[in-house]
Amino acid sequence: MKLFKLTAIAFAMAASTQASAVTVAFDSNWAFNYLGTGVAGAYMPIDEMTFQGLSYVSSTDVNTNGVIDAGDTFNDYGRLGATGFSNDGSPLAAVDTGLSLDYALTSVFTDWTGTFANPVPNGLGGFNTGYAFTPGGTMEIYLGTAAGGTMAQNTFATSSDGTPVMSLTIMEGEGNINFGNPSGVDGNINILFAITSVATGYWFMDTNNDGIADTDVADLLLAGALTVGLTDSNANIITPVNAVVADFVASTGDGIPDGIGDIYVTNDGSFRPAVFLVPEPTTLALLGLGLAGLGFGARRKAA
């Protein structure tokens, strides 16, 4: 059996404002308030959030020629969960952030689709198959109780429990994968999302660069369009246990690898601010949030 792995997400947020531009420097502090009561109750400073999870890619050999190449299609289903926070490279204890003690952050996606390109030599004796995502696929982020545990233990059923705190929609995306790589890291992914909704009182950014998160992301969304980018990753193809396969089948109607290009992938990545500077007096404000490590590569393991 074969597998797919997502491992990096980068958030880049753009908002149209009526005042002077907002700038956010690299590694700017941001904050999250799991109670949803505003910035005063938020944990800060935070500059990285780590994730774990799993995804399944179901490919269709449209050309029926026994290989995945140009014109063949795929569906991607997955679930992620936050596993920790850090600041300036130092992990923050759960007792200081509440994550896994008082609450859990999870995310699911079930409708990502796309099309493959022709494989090309990668210079390492193998071939990379390019792919492009179809606009419109969505990802939901939920706030639940710690009882659900991390995404490593969660199922689709529990990962969608709780309060929706952010919704994303794919605008465009692409990457490549080496289906034949027996070991090592291989592949990449870049996806640009639009933030379609965000709950008030939970997410905050340091918009005046004083080291303290101060502006609700919900207010930034009201000011204009916000985008999120998923970029650069490794993938680790695995063979999951029967219970995991059953979970994917029950939740998505798919999940049994039965053809070429059908793969499961472990997911892990991190979330960091990025730098976007906008000169005054423009009315476009750019903010960056980044998940370093979510993407596609291939590492074959014994079944």
Helix (H) / strand (E) element for 113: namely strand 104-121
pLDDT of 23 reads: 43
Tens digits of per-residue pLDDT, 151-194?
556 788 888 888 999 998 998 888 888 887 655 556 677 777 78
Residues in the chain: 303
pTM of the model: 0.77
Which regions of 178-294 does DSSP assign to beta strands (E)? 188-198, 203-205, 215-216, 227-234, 236-238, 263-272, 284-294
pLDDT of 302 reads: 27
Whether the CB-CB separation of 264 and 35 falls below 8 Å is answered with no
List residues bridging with 167 in a β-sheet. 140, 197
pLDDT < 50 stretches in the chain? 1-26, 271, 273-303
Token representation of residue 183: 């070991």
Token look-up 């990379």 returns 128
pLDDT of 59 reads: 95
pLDDT of 115 reads: 97
pLDDT of 255 reads: 95
pLDDT of 152 reads: 55
pLDDT of 206 reads: 80
pLDDT of 33 reads: 92
